[in-house]
Structure 1
Amino acid sequence: MTLRRPAPATEFTVPEALAATEPPEVRGLARDEVRLLVAGHAGPPQHVRFRDLPLALAPGDLVVVNTSETEPAAIDGHRDDGRPVTLHVSGPAPDGLHVVELRTPGGRRVTDGVAGETVLLPCGVAATLLTGHPDPRTVAGSRLWRARIPVAGGLRGWLAAVGRPIRYSYLHGEWPLAAYRTVFARAEPEFGSAEMPSAGRPFTPDVLTALQARGVGVAELVLHTGVSSLEADEVPQRERYRVPAATADAVNATRAAGGRVVAVGTTVTRALETVADPAGHVSAGAGWTHLVLGPDRPARVVDGLVTGWHEPQASHLLLLEAVAGAQLVSRAYAAALEHGYRWHEFGDSCLLLPALTARRRG
């Protein structure tokens, strides 16, 4: 049975014209020249460029980034009956298989897949759909599938040869894998992210240097993302994470000194909150997280959030509200729409800085 989630309080409609249809570099902008809306608990939102991020933070704050590397996780193939299809590898399943999604060449979801179906892929590889995911009782029509993909020499080497980045219909054109990786992305022994942890894309070496000069720390963790194209009321899937001891220590020291812990993206937020106890103390940890932040589980350790702009009713909005509160999130989104900010992975950014809680002040 698929778990369902409550609706976020933030409501809005995004005009199609606000979709970022190509990387900012195509529009003549550096990565860190995208716009940044800074929304705090006091005063109106501020409109700056992402390279101004260090000035919006204070000495003693800590920025936590996700170093997961984006995989070329989209592969073109054919179904048993010859129809063309694109297979998205969302990532490994806990039982050693892989979770996949099927799309038409035009980007629409395939809704008539059945258990036992074979998808023919390049170099003689075939993926067999076994059971629906996350509900293994589903044998037809699932959005996600547990699949067996036997590849001599390993899946990642084969993907490097035949795969490409996952892209959606709002994008115009194709770009190399480097366009979908952040400046701090690092290859791991295991399969990385199916889609870019895009909140970190506007960071550049110059921004990182400026953060250091400002007295703002930077710490790293890993959370490997699956496909982001959830149904409107689906909860996020389980994802793999690793929070090193050095990062846990940095977070705890920042909080003890009165600084803010600013997560870069929902992925970092999910990982940090997974290893936070009720008092906000963070421990090192690794594994699979099924944590879903929302009205019943607000943030314990994350004080601020660098994020992109999410779709209406997206599960990410509940996470934003769990960190910053529904009122601040709604105010930020209203300002972004009013001032023409761009949406999606190649779009503009937002920094949410709610007031520190009474527990933090106390």
Structure 2
Amino acid sequence: MRAAAATTFTVPAELSAAEPPEVRGVPRDGVRLLVARGHGPLRHTTFRNLPSALRRGDLVVVNTSDTEPAAVDGHRPDAPAADAPPVTLHVSGPAPDELFVVELRTPDGRRVLDGRAGESIRLPGGVVATLMAGHPDPRVSTGSRLWRARIAVAGGLRAWLAEVGRPIRYSYLRGDWPLDAYRTVFATPGPEFASAEMPSAARPFTPEVLAGLRRRGVGVAELVLHTGVSSLEAGEVPLPERYRVPTATADLVNATRAAGGRVVAVGTTVTRALETVADPGGLVRPGAGWTHLVLGPDRPARVVDGLVTGWHEPTASHLLLLEAVAGTALVGRAYAAAVDRGYLWHEFGDSCLLLPIRTVHRAE
């Protein structure tokens, strides 16, 4: 368990975005954007105006992780096949020993709380997922929220998911939407298992917004962080995630800071990856592997000067990360205004740009 965020609020149910903005008649970059600076009033605009909130010499860093069709319908083995209880399996990502981290949900989206080690979940095409041990603590044998599971699939798990899987969706959503609705403009397919859920802070970006950034003199750099399921319990520590920060991005970040520009991360995933490879003085080096970094009061941001983000739940661990970048006062102001002004929450909702006051650090 970890400390709770200082930012407190209540989100009315009607502020949950229940479908993609395009279904509501709003283009991707037409969602609302709240610009919260460390000084001056809040600004309410639309995402297509993001470039005007930044300045020449800033650097926007994005996550190119793709989204997997990571939800699969199956049955638990507690009864004869005809009567076996249905279940939805969410594949969060790889685990040690060629296993996968999975989560069990009921068809209507509730957590399954009575899973047990050794249980086998029957899946399409004769595939079976066997729960081996709890995750992240393998000593847990019953009732774990996440499990390490063995899923043997001829031809590989990803090819099978492409045939039988669908995007992970939660109960606040209405309707089933294709995988492209859960992909960002930056999503780049690769050979490894990508994100179980979309790195959604980048969803409002469009080619037009990127062109606006170029005209403004704002740079764009890329990295990868593959994120697992987002359904953490209140106070639960973020789980390890796979990341890759290339040399070109590390060099751009360091050059931007040396010139007095701001490094603006697009989402908590980018923030976590960049801060993982930042030394105490804010110098970034290329790196890849698994990050265990947890940002919060004991580990504030060293290199990220601003953050493009969606709106997170009151108990989400992401709030501590936001506060580690922007401070509790600014995050609190932004969230209070978002609730008051009716901003929409979740992956298909509205956006926020946090720009705290920073002391300019120039590399020696």
- TM-score between the two structures when normalised by the length of structure 2: 0.98
Counterpart of 2:81 in structure 1 is none
Counterpart of 2:35 in structure 1 is 38
Compared CA separation, residues 333 and 361, structure 1 to 2 (3 A): farther
2:240 to 233, 238, 241: 238
Q: 2:363 and 2:246 mapped to 1: Cα distance?
A: 27
Q: 1:282 and 1:149 mapped to 2: Cα distance?
A: 37
Counterpart of 2:229 in structure 1 is 227
Matched, 1:306 2:308: yes
Q: Report matched runs for 1:1-362 at 5 Å.
A: 4-81=1-78, 82-357=84-359, 359=361
Structure 1 residue 358, shift from structure 2 partner: 6.1
Instruction: Indicate the SS of the match to 1:271.
Output: helix
Q: 1:95 and 1:268 mapped to 2: Cα distance?
A: 27
Q: 1:136 and 1:214 mapped to 2: Cα distance?
A: 50
Confirm or deny: 8 A CA contact 2:259 2:362 kept in the other structure: no
Structure 1 residue 95, shift from structure 2 partner: 2.9
Structure 1 residue 323, shift from structure 2 partner: 0.1
Once superposed, which parts of structure 1, at least 4 consecutive aligned residues long, lie more than 2 Å away? 357-362
Instruction: Indicate the SS of the match to 1:75.
Output: strand
Q: 1:281 and 1:107 mapped to 2: Cα distance?
A: 43
Give ranges in structure 2 of 5+ residues lacking alignment: 79-83
Q: 1:298 and 1:253 mapped to 2: Cα distance?
A: 21
What is the CA deviation profile of residues 215-240 of structure 1, one whole-angstrom value per residue up to 9, with x for unaligned ones? 00000000000000000010100000
What is the CA deviation profile of residues 186-226 of structure 1, one whole-angstrom value per residue up to 9, with x for unaligned ones? 00110000000000000000001110111000000000000
Instruction: Indicate the SS of the match to 1:123.
Output: helix
Q: 1:94 and 1:65 mapped to 2: Cα distance?
A: 27
Q: 1:164 and 1:132 mapped to 2: Cα distance?
A: 24
Identity over aligned residues, as a percent? 77
Instruction: Indicate the SS of the match to 2:214.
Output: helix
Confirm or deny: 8 A CA contact 2:258 2:361 kept in the other structure: no
Instruction: Indicate the SS of the match to 1:202.
Output: coil
Structure 1 residue 330, shift from structure 2 partner: 0.1
What is the CA deviation profile of residues 109-162 of structure 1, one whole-angstrom value per residue up to 9, with x for unaligned ones? 000000000000000000000000000100000000000000000000000000
Structure 1 residue 96, shift from structure 2 partner: 2.0
Q: 1:20 and 1:211 mapped to 2: Cα distance?
A: 27
Instruction: Indicate the SS of the match to 1:68.
Output: coil
Look up the equivalent residue of 2:143 and give its one-letter code.
G
Look up the equivalent residue of 1:68 and give its one-letter code.
S
Please tell me the root mean square deviation across aligned C-alpha atoms, in Å: 1.0
- TM-score between the two structures when normalised by the length of structure 1: 0.98
Q: 1:35 and 1:7 mapped to 2: Cα distance?
A: 28
Confirm or deny: 8 A CA contact 2:57 2:217 kept in the other structure: yes
Instruction: Indicate the SS of the match to 1:233.
Output: coil
Structure 1 residue 43, shift from structure 2 partner: 1.1
Q: 247-256 or 89-98, which moves further after superposition?
A: 89-98
What is the CA deviation profile of residues 164-193 of structure 1, one whole-angstrom value per residue up to 9, with x for unaligned ones? 000000000010000000001000110000
Instruction: Indicate the SS of the match to 2:18.
Output: coil
Structure 1 residue 359, shift from structure 2 partner: 4.7
Instruction: Indicate the SS of the match to 2:87.
Output: strand
Instruction: Indicate the SS of the match to 2:55.
Output: coil
Instruction: Indicate the SS of the match to 2:210.
Output: helix
Look up the equivalent residue of 2:130 and give its one-letter code.
T
Give ranges in structure 1 of 5+ residues lacking alignment: none
Look up the equivalent residue of 1:184 and give its one-letter code.
F
